[in-house]
Amino acid sequence: MVTTSLSSVEKPDDCDRVLYLREPGTGSIHQHEIPIRFLGAGSRFQILARKDSLPGWAEALQTTPVVVWRARNREYTGRAVAIDGADTGEVLRHFEAEFGADRVRGWFGPSVQAFELRPLASGRASYREIVESYFDAIASSYESSVTSNPFDADLRRTSLDVFLRIFRPGDRILEIGAGPGLETLVLASRGIEVVATDISAQMIRRLKAKIELEGLRELVMARKLAAGEITQLLDEFGPNSFDGAFSTYGALNCEEDLASFPPALAALLRPNSSVVFAIWNRVCLAEFVLSFLARDPRRAFARQRNPVPQGLSRYGIPVYAYSFQSFVRPFLPHFQVEHVVGVPVFVPPYDYHRTFSHRPESIRVLRRLDKAFANRFPFTRFGDHFLVEMRRR
């Protein structure tokens, strides 16, 4: 069981300022509860953790989409949002004003990590709320986790090569699932206007900060929208107002039902516009072979379940895997398929990078195989993802 030092909960009469967090991943609310000092007004709760030796519960909050806690004789279901930068200092000052600077330093040391627990309005998390909460929780670490992983970096290079081939300076492009802007800002730096959407408010916040930092305000507009909400853009931009669109590596796998998405997207695009999607595939040759060799049938066949359970995919939430055929079928009344490639087919999925970090020659061989075969049938259907280009009819 993960516990905290009760130096922050010193007296029985302090209970009005103590919440009990259910340890992420446990079952009954009457077990594995962690007492934590909090501040807050109304329905929001601010808590601190010692940053130089982050406790297990605080590490878990950074990747857990939905959490449960008790406070003031009520139970809450909600999400934990990591607080960064100057906002951390503000929370710390509030704690020091309430409890005294010396006590707070004694509890948490010289450096703190702040979180805000935000109850869900409905009291129960919908799938969309779970997705939003998860990406809010990992927003601060998302970019570094991608750029530090050579397999993940390969995915981004592949998609960017396609974007820079088909999109032109002066085009207005819609991006679904922009995250912190790993592809967004590269395109904008080439003179391509991007309307970047994401389900996560924290991802959009980070993207907006980077837009300002890089002086790209005239070329990038960031909007907090899920893929299933893009019809809202019709009011702002009007029909047939985009020259293209793209979504890569997960945003569309995090939608429960894509049936309404193709016609909504088609309404926003000009005729003959190009769209590019990189979709987490239902059949991954490399993962199946490696799981079979490791005698791990649960992972080998995990993608055949929909949704794929948490812990059996690259994502920290349940997600929906698609075969190429099942994904493109609802698009065909509005789009025609131009090209598809497996991304990658022979190089393993990104979470195998540590396993292969000491086998550079093996990776070079697998990359050569991808270069030779990933765009040939049937290998186009067997990648970790498939990257499909389509054209608006």
Cα–Cα distance between 253 and 217 in angstroms, integer? 29
Residues facing residue 196 across a β-bridge: 175, 222
Is 230 contained in some domain?
yes
Which of 195, 145, 203, 140 has the alpha carbon at shortest distance from 171? 195
As a whole-number percent, the residues of the chain with pLDDT over 70 amount to 92
* Same domain (yes/no): 100, 231: no
**In this model, does residue 68 exceed pLDDT 90?**
no
Amino acid at 139: A
- Report the distance separating Cα 223 and Cα 177, nearest Å: 10
At residue 193 the predicted structure's pLDDT band, cuts being 50, 70 and 90, is very high
Q: Model confidence at 42, in pLDDT bands (50, 70, 90)?
A: low
Cis peptide before 349 (omega within 30 of 0): no
How confident is the model at residue 311, as a pLDDT?
A: 72
Q: How many residues does the chain have?
A: 393
Mean pLDDT of 126-133: 87
Are the C-beta atoms of residues 301 and 363 closer than 8 Å to each other? Answer: no
- Determine the 3-state secondary structure of 381 from DSSP: helix
Give residue 351's pLDDT band: very low, low, confident or very high (50, 70, 90).
Answer: confident
Q: How many domains does the chain have?
A: 2
Domain boundary among 124, 158, 180: 124
Determine contact, residues 40/9, Cβ cutoff 8 Å: no
Per the DSSP assignment, residues forming a β-bridge with 199 are: none
pLDDT score of 213:
96
Q: How many CB atoms lie within 10 A of CB 242?
A: 23
Share of the chain above pLDDT 90, in %: 66
pLDDT of 224 strictly over 60:
yes
Amino acid type, 214: E
- Identify the CATH number of the domain in which residue 14 sits: 2.30.110.10
The whole-number average pLDDT for the span 321-343 is: 97
Q: What is the span of the domain harbouring residue 22?
A: 6-124
CATH of the domain at 241: 3.40.50.150
Angstrom CA distances, 317 to 64, 138, 274, stand at 8, 12, 30
Region of poorest pLDDT, from 27-41, 145-159, 191-205, 280-294: 27-41
- pTM as predicted: 0.76
- Taking residues 77-100, what's their average pLDDT? 88
Choosing from 92, 124, 156, the residue where a domain stops is 124
Bond preceding residue 271 cis, omega within 30 of 0: no
The whole-angstrom separation of Cα 277 and Cα 385 is: 10
In a domain, 135, yes or no: no
**Residues 119, 149 within the same domain:** no
- The mean of the pLDDT values for the chain is 89
Q: Cα 254–309–27 angle (5° rounding)?
A: 115
Residue 41 pLDDT grade (very low, low, confident, very high; cuts 50, 70, 90) = low
CA distance 167 to 25: 44
Residues in contact with 96: Cβ distance below 8 Å, sequence separation at least 6, in sequence order: 104
Q: Grade residue 24 by pLDDT with cuts at 50, 70 and 90.
A: low
- Round to whole Å and give the CA distance between 162 and 351: 24
Q: Are residues 346 and 250 in the same domain?
A: yes
Single-letter amino acid code for the residue at 267? A
Is the pLDDT score of 271 beyond 90? Answer: yes
Shared-domain flag, residues 70 and 169: no
Q: What whole-number distance in Å separates Cα of residue 279 and Cα of residue 69? A: 35
